[in-house]
Structure 1
């Protein structure tokens, strides 16, 4: 699943527009485009029926007004004139868990509000609507001159903050955010309107919303009903307002009609949303670093955490609920980085990057002025990544090891509070949320596991230069190296393991008691070790940033010198700003002698069902309808109920919940995942393999309507029903020859 996510540099301020307008060698294979910079001619060639203004317009309603930043980590879409939101189940997962109890477990049993009064407020959840985008590159770049990357980013950050403050005065009631693009050479200003009263309307049981669990995560074929429903509330004058019983459903500028006409292979499809992070311009040295250094250790550390949590979750329903969201988010990118490593190797991305760099160096060598400007770029990258290995290992040990222990995460917060950096109300809010989903025994076991794993990694020859946290000296001398014994002593005596203990410390801030606490000593020890590594490795990242700046600048300069018909299209890396990607409904060949259809059906639910496996339990009410083939108007022309479908849209983390929109601007599905064979896609897009996995809107409507009987939700939607797209059964989809 794609829940949660560097940039490239331009030669000139507006070269991106020129590049986008050029004729690419590979049409619509990839690209996460800002909605103000699109190639509409190409989109129309693929079948788009909308005008540019119907997609993005500042003065009139357009598609952009129906797309929301959902909570700062996902995407959602407005689907009714009463502010109803569709997004993914895994995007709503944390919010659903937060309002669940063992007695009323909305994750396990699902939830459907029958009226506005029954809709449940989700504390901390918000929806942000994009109002407008403005190119402010000229204003910022004139202050930057020819500064190198380290000074450039620092100065630009100051200028962006200053601009945000100034623009906020002129846009009262709105949020202003200035973002860098293309390695701090282009800058766009985004104005948002943020709504903080978001309420849960409905969600299927976890057995549907997460059908297939970790086994099917990132996989195709897929049969997951990955959706949940929320609603935006506003003041009576339709303005943002904190939660109040007096608030009313939000009246949107635009909402998406919902089409149940279905899709067929080759149909136009676009995705609008908030992709989080990509690194498409990573060098071969960066790819090697990812494969050999970052990914393996990241996966290893998270694997140890997941195994510990799973043991306690399986033994206690309360712990299972408390840790459900934490486990899901941790497991998501644990599996992702396993897949990314396999994909990078399988698709020979390292070798591809080396070939590109060889061409770059040959181009540089042909001109003295280019040698002067770009001649050191590759040497910088080679040195930077070599020097960065120690920093990366230290960073992962700290973030995925020490900071994985929940009790120790409170140490820094209390320290900041003691120094007056965090107000008491913020600390209290964190404490309340922390202990609601905290289990002392589970965390103690994880602490012992982490201590052992951390030391095991430190003892490897390649990590000999990493400092050993001083706490290990105490464990060895006072506890004979027994990590379980030390963990028991720490958790028996620490004030950090109970809400009462932390609140008491907040009142007294007894420095002696805090200093004597074994968990505080442990966290301070790990922090000091990490700070030592970070200080010694800071220069390596600066070298990498400057090397990459020069390399990408050279790539783009070389591109603009080519005849227009030979130029490639370039787009900025994702940075959680609104993007649009367009393409078609499409199947693919995942491997030799293998073919995957572009859609799955409800029959796959029966084929995968396993009552003994919690990941593949099929709720009785769903199974009965599927066995009877009771699909009503949501069936395709062959009488089948489609569950998911594939497109070649270019998405990544943050796009979860994004609407899949047809040529007429109608909702046809929800994007929720990428495919296993293309997990290297954030670094290198592979058009023959990379696919966007979407839940078919007809499946979620069938569940809402035919299975759970929520006619009031269906009646609130603008459903488009007419001529249905013709579909073919699987046997007809198989190619005649490979």
Structure 2
């Protein structure tokens, strides 16, 4: 799956997040680190992790701001993640002369480690329950609009106080539909450097044909290093490495940051996803896929420039196609509808809980509002325009008290925002022209050519002609110019003659109107789901886990094969299988192993475990998550899910759905036998 699904795209596709207690079945569950399923683990697997085990794993895990997960794997700052999680960074570090995504990279010394332009890693240091303070700040009789402002204000205040007190990134996370709010404090690492990455041919061996499939034979791994004060960071918490291959039936744990799930959604909400939201998303992705493919056909350099974004789009398209197929299967709704009807019947038969049943009708009505807002947008998804809009919003929000700002522009979020805005990563004007002209055309279709705002955007020109004029005259690809605007504040933005800034200013009012309307809908939905949560708890009891929120969770499962089309799929693969798979698909480019693998064939231990599957409950965002054993030792690296796992956003089943990982012993074998990186291999886990 390349289960990361580029995080920015994920946030665009699903902006509303609610979460409620889930009734766990089998190895289902994405559990909070401060509320682990100790009793369930004892009953199902005769294992109870102690507090030290959990703390060590939590502090050894990291979150990538680009979307995805990772882990510390040495005392001197080494970090393990997926190649596809690192691909955004590899793309930004590449040039026409040095294609790191295609050719890979190995730093033989610290001085050769390449500094990333804007990567931020987050280590979860502490969790604090701030539920009472948040709930007390929102008046019981507040309108949805007022409730949004009151909640935003108190959350901004809590985050600011925490940041000023600790210096740590501080995020208030909404859990269980607003029934709980937790303050997560993170240590940030912003000096991150590339150490090793394999070639794409090894990391994405099998290409789109094998994506979401199993068996797999991928080396989807990359190693980076965090620095502090210009030197490799000295870490107390990092994962040791198990030198033995996994066995079928072995218990494993996944510590990562799953993005968003919708498992608590009502039938009406799932119908909206099936009939409206997902088809809209897929139309968008197919359009962008064609655009990136056409741009890449213009030349080798254009292919390189478009590759990372095209890969993310294709991956998302395949993932959402699978999700939609699952929702279009009538059987998906049979169980969901039956459970909902039973729950509502029990509520109606209990005078004490009858009022809670109205929440389901409220949610159904809210879906109509979401349908109305679905195509209302003024976003023009190009890097230059996005940068312009972010600068316009930042300088406007800076004029407000901290507790009244949009969340991403508060004092607690400012450092991360500026790191992104002032990134020195290259911006390619030819790619921007293709993207912006297509976005203007798409927006013209959505809003209508006679729309007043469209007329202002076009300024009497066609979409491509207008995009070309904007890109030719803007200076926003100059970091110094961006910095001047940010430091000059609102006055500098108002005075700026840069056409991209002027366009963002023209669209700011409509952007805010749409955002405020969506936030008001989200607030009503949040309050309705809070009542659903209350009803579920009243009828079915407490316990379980909340929907995923791109924050650290613990999942568990066993190494286990499955049956597909009458064939038993074994849980592990080895290097011999990779070479056999390549030979069986000779002549198909996506199945060509890189030259380094072919040259090293005689040195590779063919029996070494390469990939494996387990029943752990994962989704997008878990890419790069470490897989550990009962001792807390690293045994694998999550990189994918099989095709049967694509319904996991809203429905878990361990009948066939599996999480796919690179084996830890396979990574070491590749480093030693293929990449001549014995010193790096020796330093891992120490």
| TMscore range, shorter length | 0.7 to 0.9
1:119-198 superposed matches below 5 A: 119-141=113-135, 146=140, 150=144, 154-170=149-165, 172-198=166-192
Structure 2 distance, partners of 1:339, 1:284, is 19
- Mapping 1:443-522, distance limit 5 Å: 443-456=432-445, 468=451, 470-471=453-454, 483-484=463-464, 490=469, 494-495=473-474, 499=478, 514=497
Match of 2:548 among 574, 580, 600: 574
Residues 718-733 of structure 1: pairs in structure 2 closer than 5 A: 718=685
Match 2:196 to one of 178, 194, 202? 202
Matches of 1:511 and 1:309 in 2, distance apart?
Answer: 34
Following the alignment from structure 1 to structure 2, what is the Cα–Cα distance between the partners of residues 474 and 184? 39
Cα distance change, pair 71–470 in 1 and its aligned pair in 2 (3 A): closer
- Out of 108, 113, 120, the position equivalent to 2:107 is 113
Please name the residue that 1:725 is paired with. none
Q: CA deviation at 1:121?
A: 1.8
Aligned to 1:641: 608
Once the two structures are TM-superposed, the CA of residue 140 in structure 1 deviates from its matched residue by: 4.4
Q: How far apart are the structure 2 equivalents of 1:452 and 1:176?
A: 39
Hey, what's the Cα distance between the residues in 2 that align with 1:93 and 1:492?
A: 26
Tell me how far 1:649 sits from its aligned partner: 0.6
In 1, are the aligned partners of 2:179 and 2:530 still within 8 Å (CA)? Answer: no
3-state SS in 1 of match to 2:32:
coil
The root-mean-square deviation of aligned C-alpha atoms, in Å, is 3.7
1:37 maps to which of 35, 38, 43: 35
Deviations 1:284-309 (A, max 9, x none): 11111111111111121222222222
Q: How does 1:52-63 map to 2 (within 5 A)?
A: 52-57=50-55, 62-63=56-57
Number of the residue aligned with 1:26: 25
Instruction: Structure 1 unaligned segments of length 5 or more: list them.
Output: 11-18, 235-240, 460-465, 561-567, 720-738
Contact 2:102/2:201 (CA < 8 Å) preserved in 1? yes
SS in 1 for 2:196: strand
**How far 1:511 moved relative to its partner?**
7.2
- Residues 147 and 49 of structure 1: CA distance in aligned 2, closer, same or farther (over 3 Å): same
Q: Distance in 2 between matches of 1:704 and 1:412?
A: 43
Q: Which has the larger radius of gyration?
A: 1
**Are the equivalent residues in 2 in contact too, given 1:211–1:223 (CA < 8 A)?**
yes
- Aligned residue number for residue 558 of structure 1: 539
1:663 to 630, 633, 637: 630
Describe the shift of the 1:250–1:48 C-alpha distance in structure 2 as closer, same or farther (beyond 3 A). Answer: farther
1:266 matched to which residue of 2?
A: 249
Separation in structure 1 between the aligned mates of residue 94 and residue 222 of structure 2, nearest angstrom: 15
Indicate the larger mover: 279-288 or 529-538. 529-538
1:504 is displaced (CA, Å) by: 13
CA distance in 2, matches of 1:157, 1:284: 29
For the 8 Å contact 2:66–2:88, the answer to whether it is kept is: no
Tell me by how many angstroms 1:178 deviates: 3.1
**Secondary structure of the structure 2 residue equivalent to 1:669:** strand
CA contact (8 A) 1:599 1:643 kept: yes
Equivalent in the alignment of 2:373: 391
- Give distance in 1, aligned partners of 2:122 and 2:381: 30
Contact 2:422/2:482 (8 A) holds in 1? no
Q: Measured at CA, do residues 434 and 389 of structure 1 come closer, stay the same or move farther in structure 2, by a change above 3 Å?
A: farther
Q: Which residue of 2 aligns with 1:707?
A: 674
Distance 1:217 1:110 in 2: 20
1:623 equivalent to 2:598? Answer yes
Distance 1:616-1:509 versus aligned 2 partners, 3 A rule? farther
**Residue 453 (structure 1) shift:** 4.1
Q: How many angstroms does 1:204 deviate by?
A: 0.8
Partners of 1:285 and 1:382 within 8 A in 2:
yes
Q: For 1:394, what is the secondary structure of its paired residue?
A: coil
Change (3 A) 1:571 1:118: same
Q: Contact 2:18 / 2:547 at 8 angstroms: preserved in 1?
A: yes
Q: CA deviation at 1:267?
A: 0.9
Q: Which of 238, 243, 247 is the matching residue for 1:255?
A: 238
Tell me, yes or no, if the aligned pair for 1:46 and 1:584 is still in contact at 8 Å: no
Distance 1:343 1:589, change over 3 A: farther
Q: 2:96 aligned with 1:102, yes or no?
A: yes
User: What pairs up with 1:369-388 in 2 under 5 angstroms?
Assistant: 369-371=352-354, 373-388=355-370
Q: CA deviation at 1:533?
A: 5.6
Match of 1:65 in 2: 59
What SS class does the counterpart of residue 537 from structure 2 fall into? helix
Distance 1:509 1:144 in 2: 36
Partners of 1:607 and 1:226 lie apart in 2 by: 16
1:269–1:661 Cα contact (<8 Å) kept: yes
Do the aligned residues in 2 keep the contact of 1:100 with 1:106 (CA within 8 Å)?
yes
Matching residue of 1:237: none
The TM-score, its normalising length taken from structure 2, stands at 0.84
**Closer, same or farther: CA 306–115 of 1 in aligned 2, 3 Å:** same
Q: Could you report, residue by residue, the CA deviation over 1:244-273 in whole angstroms, capped at 9, with x for unpaired residues?
A: 2xx2x2222232221231122211011112
- Aligned pair count? 655
Match status 1:279 vs 2:256: no
Relative to structure 1, the CA distance from residue 265 to residue 469 in structure 2 (aligned partners, 3 Å threshold; closer, same or farther) is: farther
The answer to whether the Cα contact below 8 Å between 1:88 and 1:672 also exists between their aligned partners in 2 is: yes
1:225 to 1:569, Cα distance in 2 relative to 1, 3 A: same
Closer/same/farther in 2, CA of residues 554 and 717 from structure 1, 3 Å limit: same
- Secondary structure of the 2:31 match is coil
